[in-house]
C-alpha cells in the first residue's frame, strides 16, 4: 500500500475510534478535534494527511517544526500546534509561525511568546500544561500552582488562553490513567468557573484517546496511530 493510502486509512480508523468513544460516553463526536502529531515524520507524510482531509498538525521540536512550517507554506488552511517542551531561546520562531502552543508551563515562556507574537497575527492560542501525576522529571505546572499561572497568562495581550493539556504517566495502567484524566477534567471545570471562555482540554494519545474522551478531552493528539512508529533520527518514509 502507498504511504498516501495507509495514512488515509489510519486517519479513517482514528476518526472512527474518536466517534465511537464519544458516542460511548454520550458526547457529540463533533466536540472533539483530532490533532495529527507529525514530529519526526517527513513533510510528505503531512501532505498525505492533508490530502486525506486533516488540518490540525502538532510538532514537538522547535527547529524541526519551523522548517516544516516553512516548507509547507503552500498548504492552505493548516493549523499548526506546538506541543513540545519549549526553552526560552526557542520561543520566537514558535510565536511567529504557530497558531497554538499546548505546552506552556511557566510565566516566563508565556511572556516571551506574547512579546514576540507579531502584531499582524491573531493572538496565539495557549494551553497550560499540567504535571498531573506530579512526576519529578516532567514538564508541566503543578496543579496547586495552576490558578496563579492562569491568572497571569490570561492578562498577556498577544495570547488567548484556551485551556489545559497533560501527558499522564503511561506506565501505570488504565485505571491510573483514567484517574489522571478525571483529575484534569476537574481542574478544567474549576478553572472555567473563573474563565468561562476556556474551551480546550488537550489530552489523549494513540494508546489512550478513548479514556481521555470519556473524561472530557476536546483535542486528542495522535501520532503513531496515524503516521506509524517514529524511529529516532530519521523518518520512516
Residues that bind ligand PLP (CB under 6 A): 37, 39, 60, 83-84, 167, 205-206, 221-225
Between CA 210 and CA 213 the distance in angstroms is: 5
As measured in angstroms, the least distance from the Cβ of 74 to ligand PLP is 25
As measured in angstroms, the least distance from the Cβ of 142 to ligand PLP is 18
Between CA 233 and CA 214 the distance in angstroms is: 34
Between CA 21 and CA 207 the distance in angstroms is: 13
Cell of 152: 497571569
Nearer to ligand PLP, 110 or 205 (CB): 205
Nearer to ligand PLP, 84 or 143 (CB): 84
As measured in angstroms, the least distance from the Cβ of 193 to ligand PLP is 27
Nearer to ligand PLP, 158 or 201 (CB): 201
Nearer to ligand PLP, 46 or 158 (CB): 46
Nearer to ligand PLP, 12 or 224 (CB): 224
Residue number of the CB atom closest to ligand PLP: 223
Q: What is the pairing mode between strands 124-129 and 159-165?
A: parallel
Between CA 109 and CA 87 the distance in angstroms is: 8
Q: Where do the H-state alpha helices sit in the chain?
A: 3-24, 43-51, 62-71, 91-97, 107-116, 146-154, 174-194, 209-214, 224-227
As measured in angstroms, the least distance from the Cβ of 222 to ligand PLP is 5
As measured in angstroms, the least distance from the Cβ of 10 to ligand PLP is 11
Question: Quick one: which of 51, 44, 102 has its CA closest to 72?
Answer: 44
Question: Residue 228: left if φ>0, alpha if ψ -120 to 50, beta else—which one?
Answer: left
As measured in angstroms, the least distance from the Cβ of 17 to ligand PLP is 12
Nearer to ligand PLP, 37 or 104 (CB): 37
Amino acid at each position: 500500500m502507498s504511504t498516501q493510502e495507509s495514512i488515509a486509512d489510519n486517519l479513517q480508523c482514528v476518526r472512527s475510534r474518536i466517534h465511537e468513544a464519544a458516542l460511548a460516553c454520550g458526547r457529540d463526536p463533533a466536540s472533539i478535534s483530532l490533532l495529527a502529531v507529525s514530529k519526526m515524520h517527513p513533510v510528505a507524510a503531512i501532505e498525505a494527511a492533508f490530502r486525506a482531509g486533516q488540518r490540525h498538525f502538532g510538532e514537538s521540536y522547535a527547529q524541526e517544526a519551523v522548517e516544516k512550517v516553512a516548507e509547507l507554506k503552500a498548504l492552505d488552511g493548516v493549523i499548526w500546534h506546538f506541543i513540545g517542551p519549549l526553552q526560552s531561546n526557542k520561543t520566537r520562531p514558535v510565536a511567529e509561525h504557530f497558531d497554538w502552543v499546548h505546552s506552556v508551563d511557566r510565566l516566563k515562556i508565556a511572556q516571551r511568546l506574547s512579546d514576540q507574537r507579531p502584531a499582524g497575527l491573531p493572538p496565539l492560542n495557549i494551553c497550560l500544561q499540567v504535571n498531573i501525576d506530579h512526576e519529578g522529571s516532567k514538564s508541566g505546572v503543578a496543579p496547586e500552582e495552576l490558578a496563579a499561572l492562569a491568572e497571569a497568562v490570561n492578562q498577556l495581550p498577544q495570547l488567548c488562553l484556551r485551556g489545559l493539556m497533560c501527558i499522564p504517566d503511561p506506565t501505570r495502567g488504565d485505571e491510573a490513567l483514567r484517574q489522571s484524566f478525571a483529575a484534569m477534567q476537574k481542574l478544567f471545570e474549576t478553572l472555567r468557573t473563573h474563565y468561562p471562555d476556556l474551551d480546550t482540554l488537550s489530552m489523549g494519545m494513540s494508546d489512550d484517546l478513548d479514556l481521555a474522551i470519556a473524561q472530557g478531552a476536546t483535542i486528542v493528539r495522535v501520532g503513531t496511530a496515524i503516521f506509524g512508529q517514529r524511529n529516532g533520527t530519521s523518518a520512516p518514509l
